[in-house]
Chains A and B, each alone.
Chain A
Amino acid sequence: MSMDIFLQHLLNGISVGSLYALIAIGYTMVYGILLLINFAHGDIFMMASYFMIFAVVDFGLPVWISLPMIIVLTVILGMLLERSAYKPLRNAPRMSIMISAIGASYLLENLAVYLFSGVPKGYPDIPWLTKVINVGTISFQTVTVIAPVLVIVILGALMALVNHTRTGMAMRAVSKDFETARLMGVRIDRVIAVTFAIGSGLAAVGSVLWGAKYSSVYPLMGVMPGLKCFVAAVFGGIGNIPGAVLGGIVLGLGETLLVAFFPGLTGYRDAFAFVVLIVMLLVRPNGLLGEKEADKV
């Protein structure tokens, strides 16, 4: 394999990984606070794609209006999901809320089939994301460069939020101890709502970048990215935000290079993520950046 082809794959892998990272952050933040795997997260991502199609194709809105609008809509959807499927189970055993999450996931998928039909639709073309740039013999879409840069900016902003703001402090407190956080006067329902809002907003951003790379939108499109990004979150250490980004990028890069080096394994592209998951759970169950719980009594 020549150097420029390798670079091409490398670039591709990083950009796919950046998309995974955006979605994985949503998993990891919700898990960090509620100890819940939000199985519906991938479907929120799918809904965001449909929102974009409606805004741009059906309502003919320009992209610069549609973009903030679908982010807001997706945030509202995510908060609505939390309100209706998770909040009523706040004091229920963890298994109940997990089953509720699975139910919510299927509900969204089937709702999408019912409302939008199962026939794939094309994601609207956003020229400044899909424009092809040639550098020497390498060619790539602008989204390939925008995605990782955006992820780094978002990661920085999130770390500042979590570590240096009042809300972030409350998030960290709630993630360890609901009851004591309540005693401090923290309105934990608000903190949880904010967490879902952030996760859903990032899923919406992810869906826009995703649409520029893979333009097919269908009701089950969130399933595989959802699962893979969950793997990415676990791989990086679930509950850990930089871990989710790292996990996403490693996963994206890994599967892209696997296929590049071993074209015969193309069919196993998706399997790669799950092999990684199994190996990680066996070798280092807390993930790359996850810390071991050292509860002192």
Chain B
Amino acid sequence: MRSENILEISGLSVSYGGIRAVKEISFGVPKGKVVTLIGANGAGKSSTLRAIVGLEKPAGGSILFNGVELSGLSTDAIVEKGITLVPEGRRVFPNLSVLENLKIGAYMRKDDLTADIAWVYGLFPRLKERSWQKAGTLSGGEQQMLAIGRALMSKPAVIMMDEPSLGLAPIIVQGVFDIIREINRQGVTILLVEQNANMALKAADLACVMETGTITMRGSGAELLENDEIRAAYLGKARK
């Protein structure tokens, strides 16, 4: 199965004051697929996403989005090209209303937002009920929904999510992953970073395992779910 990679990472490195968090990793994200990076804390997953969207300056390597080099561009220029990040810990604007959070997600767009707001509210009916509430008053799960909805408002071709299940109750996590599948079904490519390897691998077409800044294993989500080492290290299951 070969398809065109909408996002192509090659030899990407990220450093924090001499400490290399990401060491020359390469991977591709095929258009229309769900790709996940799994791995323990500090493996460099978040740094990879942050580098792609320009929040960290890559120490080396290239990031091609639809064949255009992103590395070195400012965050607003990158986001404008159609790639966005749902940050770790949700980071909704607590002092803005739910509706305003959605509107600011579309900050760069000049066209009419009515249809897209209706679309997001269709995906997350809970948000519609709370449209005028300040985002800071929402529950954790609702904030995660809002963070995803806010990202969708920029009409991205690729949406990256950093630990969307973090700190949420299992039933809510299930809901988040249902939404991820639904968004993907509607044509958005997804790059997902997760510690919840079980859920992530089930949702993913392709997966990479990161350890201390390098990719140590890759394959389809289903393959890795069956892999003995993965089962022992990340899924808490005994080897077969």
Interface residues of A (CB under 8 A from B): 166, 169-170, 172-173, 175-177, 179-187, 294-297
Contact = CB atoms under 8 A, between A and B. Distances in A.
Contact of A169 (B87, B91, B100): B100
Contacts of A182: 55, 75-76
B93 A187 contact: no
Interface residues of B, number: 24
A169 B103 contact: yes
A200 B206 CA distance: 54
Contact of A173 (B53, B89, B96): B96
Closest 6 A-B residue pairs measured CB to CB?
A185-B108, A182-B75, A180-B91, A185-B79, A185-B76, A184-B107
Interface in B178-223: none
Contact of A183 (B75, B95, B96, B100): B75
Given A183-B87, A184-B79, A296 B96 contact: no
Given A173-B93, A173-B96, A176-B93, A186 B55 contact: no
Contacts of B53: 183
Interface string B56-93: 00000000000000000001100110001101010101
A71 to B, nearest CB: 29
Contacts of B154: 184-185
B94 interface: yes
The CB with the most chain B CB atoms within 10 A, among A182, A183, A186, A187, is that of A183
Interface string B17-45: 00000000000000000000000000000
B94 A176 contact: yes
A210 B203 CA distance: 66
A294 B135 CA distance: 12
A185 B91 contact: no
Given A179-B87, A296-B136, A185 B96 contact: no
Q: Which residue, of B76, B87, B100, has the highest number of chain A Cβ atoms within 10 A?
A: B76
Nearest to A180: B91
Nearest to B77: A185
Given A170-B107, A186-B104, A294-B136, A180 B76 contact: no
Contacts of A296: 94, 136
A166 B91 contact: no
Contacts of A186: 76, 104, 107
B87 A180 contact: yes
B55 A184 contact: no
Nearest to A183: B85
A184 B150 contact: yes
B29 to A, nearest CB: 18
Nearest to B137: A296
Nearest to A295: B94
B55 A173 contact: no
B83 to A, nearest CB: 10
B93 A180 contact: yes
